[in-house]
Amino acid sequence: MCGLCGVFGVSEHWTDGPDASRAEAQHRVAVGNDVLAIFGLRLAEWSGRYTLTGPTGGSVVVDHFGSLWPAAERLAGRPCDPLDPNVIAAAEKRSGLR
Amino acid sequence: MNDIWGAPITANLLTGFLGSGKTSLLRRLLRQPDLSDTAVMINEFGEVGLDHLLIEAVDDDIVLLDSGCVCCTIRGDLKDALLRLYGRRQRGEVPPFRRVVIETTGLADPAPIVATFAADPMLKHHFRVGNVVTVVDAECGAANLHLYDECRKQVAVADRLVVSKIDIAGPGKSARLRARLAAINPTAEIIESSEADDAAAALLTHDVHDEAKRPDEVRRWIAAERLDDDLHQHDDDQDHTHEYRHNDIGALLLSADEPLDWAAFGLWLSMLLNRHGASVLRVKGLINVVGRDAPVVVQGVQHLIHKPVHLDRWPDDLPRTRLVLIVRGLDEKLIQRSFRAFMRLEIEAAPPQELVSSA
């Protein structure tokens, strides 16, 4: 895992947002799952953190969205590249844009 | 808490190519009363004498973190020097400085210096990174930008660009350099060195961390949008997007009228930075977030995104996401398309717009 990616100035991650409510946590998991499904991964809330589960059932605990992507790539066994045309096409399809 | 001990110390980077006049600017900066409580870190004691009590020397020592990520190198020497200086401050051996200016060597890549602050818990807690000031010499600047990747990168990550040696280069050459600088980094304020005496302290003190100055700072970033129109008046018949060639640096603008879901935006940008952080030199802009009236200010250098802050209101009363990315060697069309797909935005009929490009 890259120890630096995305983290700056605070122990939390910049993506966390000000709302720490249960509803927001559930919303974040839902949004995460929508994107992670493209890579065959699933996210679940776990005691203020997340568990990320891969296609073969292996799972890891991640603290925040900053440490999510390096873990996701290990579990998926491939890069999670938002500039990969196939990934973009899958996102467009899920969004009903194409 | 705002007492001198509790507030984070602002760390400024002063960078610029060899012979651009960094040390001369630093000497003038240190004469400013507003900067009297500033510590200085330099790599070498050069020919320009610095009469200042708080000077620490830093040796070159680049450390690659265990992650093996090339852009996540940190400056081990700088970390040690900063912690040593902080320890002396805590013990009362030096005055309680509130700012530290790090003057880099001419060939330094600023990114590992910024990364150093994020990598160490002590530094992360006690310091925050303020403006990156890059000095560019009007006489040799254009040639250096053409020849040296380090030079382009120093310009790309800057918050302020100071053009020096205008008296030698003349007004025509200086104006061309300014246009070139604006093309690489439209978000940075460009100041002529001769003006810098008046505005010297502001180079460092006016930044996005200062709540009073934040609206002005952000207004400058989004004003970069205007460049978009200026540039494309000339090439309306051409496809606006292109893939920057290797090492080409250019800026692009991501925009959206619809409010964005913060979690979705965070996921997308962190995914982009995880894979392409070394090629995304700067991120700066305002995000229109679902459920929030006020804009969220996002900015970062490569992998490192500062803690987002808020503005009380939209600086131009236009509630619209505008995010400027300064990238190197990435396909702008794919970035635009990816942003819209992951943000679930309708695909624009018009081709995505390139804000500025530079060869």
Task: Give the model confidence (pLDDT) of B289-313 as tens digits.
Answer: 998 888 999 988 877 888 888 888 8
- Quick one: tokens of B147? 């020849």
Cβ within 8 Å, pair A88-B69: no
Check whether residue B245 and residue B305 sit in a common domain.
Answer: yes
Between CA B160 and CA B13 the distance in angstroms is: 10
Check whether residue B251 and residue B321 sit in a common domain.
Answer: yes
What pLDDT does residue A83 have?
A: 97
Per-chain mean pLDDT for chain B: 79
* B149 found inside a domain: yes
Query: What residue numbers bound the domain in which B114 lies?
Result: 9-207
Residues 150-189 of chain B with CB under 8 A from chain A are none
Tell me which of B175, B207, B239 is where a domain ends. Answer: B207
ipTM summary value: 0.89
Between CA B263 and CA B289 the distance in angstroms is: 10
Check whether residue B152 and residue B250 sit in a common domain.
Answer: no
What pLDDT does residue B3 have?
A: 43
Of A10, A28, A83, the CB nearest to B338: A83
Check whether residue B229 and residue B182 sit in a common domain.
Answer: no
Q: Return the closest-CA partner of residue B9 out of B235, B298, B246, B209.
A: B209
* B99 found inside a domain: yes
Task: Give the model confidence (pLDDT) of B225-260 as tens digits.
Answer: 655 554 444 344 343 443 344 458 888 999 999 999
- Residue B194 backbone phi and psi in degrees, to 5: -65, -25
Tell me if residue A98 falls in helix, strand or coil. coil
Residues in B closer than 8 angstroms to A98, CB to CB, are 347
Residue A85 predicted with pLDDT over 80: yes
Check whether residue B128 and residue B203 sit in a common domain.
Answer: yes
Residues in B closer than 8 angstroms to A10, CB to CB, are 124, 307
What pLDDT does residue B228 have?
A: 53
* B353 found inside a domain: no
Kindly indicate the confidence band of residue A3, based on its pLDDT and cuts at 50, 70 and 90. very low
Which residue's structure tokens are 């979705």?
Answer: B264
* B1 found inside a domain: no
What pLDDT does residue A96 have?
A: 77
Between CA B101 and CA B14 the distance in angstroms is: 7
Query: Which range, A54-63, B79-88, B101-110, B230-239, has the best average confidence (pLDDT)?
Result: A54-63
Residue A82 predicted with pLDDT over 90: yes
Domain boundaries, chain A: 22-95
Between CA B359 and CA B248 the distance in angstroms is: 5
Q: Which helix or strand (DSSP H or E) is residue B233 part of?
A: none
DSSP secondary structure string for all residues of B34-49: GGTTEEEEESS--SS-
* Number of independent structural domains in chain B: 2
pLDDT average, residue stretch B138-166: 91
What pLDDT does residue B258 have?
A: 94
What pLDDT does residue A46 have?
A: 87
* B355 found inside a domain: no
Lateral strand order in the sheet of B55-57:
B55-57, B38-42, B99-103, B9-16, B127-137, B160-164, B189-192
Residue B40 predicted with pLDDT over 50: yes
* B214 found inside a domain: no
pLDDT average, residue stretch B12-40: 86
Q: Return the closest-CA partner of residue B196 out of B326, B1, B26.
A: B26
Kindly report the length of chain B: 359
Between CA A48 and CA B168 the distance in angstroms is: 60
Q: Which of B207, B309, B338 to mutate to test the interface with A (most CBs of A within 10 A)?
A: B338
Kindly report the length of chain A: 98
Between CA B300 and CA B352 the distance in angstroms is: 23
Kindly indicate the confidence band of residue B44, based on its pLDDT and cuts at 50, 70 and 90. low
Instruction: Report the CATH number at residue B106.
Output: 3.40.50.300
Cβ within 8 Å, pair A88-B276: no
Whole-model pTM? 0.81
Check whether residue B60 and residue B191 sit in a common domain.
Answer: yes
Q: Which residues of A4-30 are buried (b: 16+ CB within 10 A; e: fewer)?
A: bbbbbbeeebbbbbeeeeeeebebbbe
A21-25, B235-239, B284-288 — which is least confidently predicted?
B235-239
* B218 found inside a domain: no
- Quick one: tokens of A3? 């120890």
pLDDT average, residue stretch B131-152: 91
Check whether residue B249 and residue B185 sit in a common domain.
Answer: no
Of A14, A34, A69, the CB nearest to B274: A69
